[in-house]
Amino acid sequence: MYWAAATRRGPSPRSPAIRTPVSHAISTTASSRPGGPHGREATTLERVDPELDEVCSLERRLLDPAVRARAEEVRVLLHPDFAEIGASGRAWDRDSVVAALAGDPGGVTAVSDLSAALVAPGVALVTYATDGSRRSSLCVRGRDGWQVRFHQGTPT
């Protein structure tokens, strides 16, 4: 489901479209180290695209325990037809994710290798790593902005 352990794992492959360094992600571990987790400067986006930055922001908001605890805010961020295949293999729908997160919003999730790419007009793919899994979200832009339509976690 939309939360994972709060420690980050080592480096993994990334999409060249846009990368958000760990210091911009929800993390309490990597941002305290000079030069970021891989010895590179972790202060700016490598490529700034407002649309892609917006979908990365959407994903980070869904990983924030304060947001996850508020069911109505989560509903706004998830598409009405949202579906998820969790890292455990369990299938989730919007209502089950909203209820589970409201009951247990989890803790801070460290994220690495957050990237986004437009795959079609109004459709973006977001990928990132958390401790023990690689994650991907398909986001769609509607009249009310971006929403997550599909999410999958794959154990590493």
The two three-digit tokens of residue 126, written as one number: 């977001």
Q: pLDDT grade, residue 48 (50/70/90)? A: low
Among residues 145, 144, 146, the alpha carbon closest in space to that of 124 is found at 146
Average of pLDDT values for 141-149?
94
pLDDT, tens digit, 9 for 90 and up, residues 2-24:
643 322 333 333 333 433 333 23
Among residues 152, 147, 123, 122, the alpha carbon closest in space to that of 137 is found at 152
Q: What is the pLDDT of residue 49?
A: 84
User: Distance between CA atoms of 153 and 83, rounded to whole angstroms?
Assistant: 12
pTM metric for this prediction: 0.72
More confidently predicted of 26 and 63: 63
What residue ranges do the domains of the chain occupy? 19-155
Sequence-separated (6 or more) residues with CB below 8 Å from residue 88 = none
- What is the CATH T-level fold of the domain 19-155, as seen in this structure? Nuclear Transport Factor 2; Chain: A, (3.10.450)
Position 44 pLDDT exceeds 60: no
pLDDT, tens digit, 9 for 90 and up, residues 50-107:
889 999 999 999 999 999 999 999 999 999 999 999 999 999 999 999 999 999 999 9
